[in-house]
Structure 1
Amino acid sequence: MFESLSGEMQLILVVLVIAVLFIFVFYNSKRNKEKLYNRRSRNFKNNVLEKRKSKESNELGSK
């Protein structure tokens, strides 16, 4: 496929592809770390209790 390109062009192309892949992996890793960090701050038990309280107060207010 790349036989028509010179050896130097093939090398440059390979380096560019590796650089693009590295940038993609770096960006994806950064995005995943942010997701995990936000997940740590959440507390399932507290969220469930808050939802129950708000649901109960909404039901009492509507009756």
Structure 2
Amino acid sequence: MPNNSKARIEANNRYNAKAYDRINIAIKKGSKAKIQAHAESKGESLNGFIKRAIKETISRDKEMMGK
């Protein structure tokens, strides 16, 4: 594991603050492990799986609404 300097960590944090919005969710205890295991079984990270699930749900909802 690389030893990131304090300056590098601060630079990464500044970039992330400019480039990304954050969404925090709360789920029942034990759910995270189940979701993470499912994501990994599909070769995805937890974050990647959640983003895909959101994207697919929005697309499906739009189709159902005829948009």
The TM-score with structure 1 as length reference comes to 0.38
**Pair member with larger Rg:** 1
The TM-score with structure 2 as length reference comes to 0.36
